[in-house]
Structure 1
């Protein structure tokens, strides 16, 4: 038996007036997800333990069977692992967004989805202007900062404060001075930078500065194969997921055309997932697009992302002898444009059948699995 989880990041939502009181999952045409629910079993999953911020880092660790209460140190070190950065004992990695801030307000947490090449050019010049701190370009706006001799800081994810004044959300605590100094230096380096001048000429949002958040030291995860006795792999265009995979000793499966945005190649991800199951026992296929649409507050983009993911799932359902699960990691409601900690719906094809007829938040709540804690999911999936 082979196993696959299809993870639509941020796919869960709330009933929306513009969709006639339905959620995006209820409104979207998703025959393949509905088939998994109709021919399988459903339930609700609590992916964020009490006391934790509802981030994709915590939620995906939980779904992969790692309890954040003992394994989570911050998002930054997970992304460092993805980038091949081996943190020293006295080093701390912070996620480092390229953002657009105007008149003291967080206008855009991703600088208009700046390209990776543009971001790398900005960060190269910023890195040359900093001491005792290194910045590393990642994918698009998602980058990394490593601070030597760090002790930590209280920070806020920039996607949580879009259209809000930033003053009360600036870094606080032991590392705050160095983080604030780096932010100030980035404003100086980015002002008038050729990359930003070109973006303005094209009518695009310029990156005004960096925003460091979710710092931490290198975590330790039990190897996935030792934990479950299975060989696993992860497909994702997001460094966070690749970092978790590397730390857990799972294969990182690279897919051409995977972007981490709504223009990703959904079908290519599905094809690579199916091919990977020829050599692996388990594949975790992560798709970021619904979450990005939620942060944008775009109902249309979120429905479209869900429907395109569903089309790709059809490729996976054609594979025999495979247990398939579909779920989000957390809700990213259109209403608030950020994550919430509410339980999410999940459906499993290959573990019996209940009376649920479609895949959605309300339908799954009536499923026979009931409400489970996320670290229990893989044990359930892999059970005989």
Structure 2
């Protein structure tokens, strides 16, 4: 038996009045998932405990079977594992986004226009982070480039302080959300002067693209310690993701990270390549389990784009779920697939929520009396409620 989780990050949503009271999952043309739903188990699961932030870090740990109350130490330390930063016990990791802020006001009066700087390329962002590093790095703060707009700062002998994610500040003046720690706030202010007229940003502006004209610190945390995935589950596991957070979780859990050319965390990511990388791992590399993480629905939720969130779900259905299912069937493998988001990213609020997620478990060896579609409503109608989503892994493995 092979096991797969297909994780559509932020895929769940709330009914949208302007869309006839439907969610993106209900509006999307997803024939494969809907056909599977007719013979699959559905239900809802709570991925984020009430005392923890509604982030992909907490929620993906849950979906992988790790209780975040035990294993969560912050988002950035997991990304540090992916980048290859060897944290000391006294280090604090900080997420260092490059974001788009308005240009004309004093820094505290600026507004965050785009938390992802137009989904800036990793190559452009690396040049900008290097410019910041040259001006701001010292013995206390070190800067490391990551993927697209997502980067890392290590604070020597720092402290875990409350910092607000930039996607929670979209369209708002930033003053009240800036760090209380003076040096962090000062570096963010200086970064605007370093970046706003940088040649990379001037070229982006000429093309009508958003500038990456400020850094934004958030997600502070300490060195993580995850249990070995194979020791925990008895399975060899592989991770397919474009983002450092998931790659870092895999490093911490001693899973194999599968790199896929063209996988970028955006709407135009290489969906098919991700699916085939997982299939190869399961059929040719002796892996028992694959976790396929697709960031695009979450990004489209943050952008507030209903049309593109629907497209992301449709790509997931056609180029990931369909491909994995058909390839495993063709190989004559028995398999179980868990499909779900990590958390909702509702279009209406453009950030994460703690509402439960709809999950679906399909088993190639047996038929279940299921629902007519895979959706939030269909999952709720079953009456199946998983209070702690980290129990879903055992449900998938039938333990």
In the alignment, what sits opposite 2:112?
Answer: 106
Q: In 2 relative to 1, CA 47–352 (structure 1 residues): closer, same or farther, beyond 3 Å?
A: farther
Measure, in 2, the Cα distance between the counterparts of 1:191 and 1:334: 29
In the alignment, what sits opposite 1:133?
Answer: 141
Matching residue within 297, 301, 310 for 1:303: 310
Secondary structure of 1:144's aligned partner: strand
In the alignment, what sits opposite 2:340?
Answer: 327
1:304-323 CA-to-partner distances (Å, cap 9, x unmatched) read 11011100211111113111
In the alignment, what sits opposite 2:196?
Answer: 191
Matching residue within 281, 287, 291 for 1:284: 291
Measure, in 1, the Cα distance between the counterparts of 2:34 and 2:382: 13
In the alignment, what sits opposite 1:244?
Answer: 249
1:120 aligns with 2:121: no
1:91-148 CA-to-partner distances (Å, cap 9, x unmatched) read 1110110011123111111112211111111111211112121111111111111111
Aligned pairs for 1:69-108 (under 5 A) are 69-102=69-102, 103=105, 104-108=110-114
Q: CA deviation at 1:19?
A: 2.1
In the alignment, what sits opposite 1:219?
Answer: 224
Q: CA deviation at 1:368?
A: 6.2
User: TM-score, normalised on structure 2?
Assistant: 0.93
Structure 2: tracts of 5 or more residues without a match:
none
Structure 1: tracts of 5 or more residues without a match:
none
In the alignment, what sits opposite 1:45?
Answer: 45
In the alignment, what sits opposite 2:160?
Answer: 152
List 4+ stretches of structure 1 deviating above 4 A: none
In the alignment, what sits opposite 1:163?
Answer: 171
Measure, in 2, the Cα distance between the counterparts of 1:21 and 1:90: 50
In the alignment, what sits opposite 1:66?
Answer: 66
1:143-173 CA-to-partner distances (Å, cap 9, x unmatched) read 111111101221000011100111111113x
Q: CA deviation at 1:352?
A: 5.3
1:295-341 CA-to-partner distances (Å, cap 9, x unmatched) read 11111001111011100211111113111111011111111111100
**Structure 1 contact 100–106 (Cα < 8 Å) conserved:** yes
Q: How many residues align?
A: 381
**Structure 2 contact 160–222 (Cα < 8 Å) conserved:** no
Measure, in 2, the Cα distance between the counterparts of 1:12 and 1:215: 26
Q: Which moved more, 1:282-291 or 1:63-72?
A: 63-72
User: TM-score, normalised on structure 1?
Assistant: 0.96
Secondary structure of 2:348's aligned partner: coil
Measure, in 1, the Cα distance between the counterparts of 2:213 and 2:16: 34
**Structure 2 contact 37–371 (Cα < 8 Å) conserved:** yes
1:142 aligns with 2:150: yes
Q: In 2 relative to 1, CA 316–49 (structure 1 residues): closer, same or farther, beyond 3 Å?
A: same
**Structure 2 contact 386–392 (Cα < 8 Å) conserved:** no
- Cα root mean square deviation, aligned: 1.3
Measure, in 1, the Cα distance between the counterparts of 2:237 and 2:361: 18
In the alignment, what sits opposite 1:364?
Answer: 379
Q: CA deviation at 1:372?
A: 4.0
Q: CA deviation at 1:195?
A: 1.1
**Structure 1 contact 354–368 (Cα < 8 Å) conserved:** no
Q: CA deviation at 1:18?
A: 2.8
Measure, in 2, the Cα distance between the counterparts of 1:225 and 1:252: 14
In the alignment, what sits opposite 1:34?
Answer: 34
Secondary structure of 1:323's aligned partner: strand
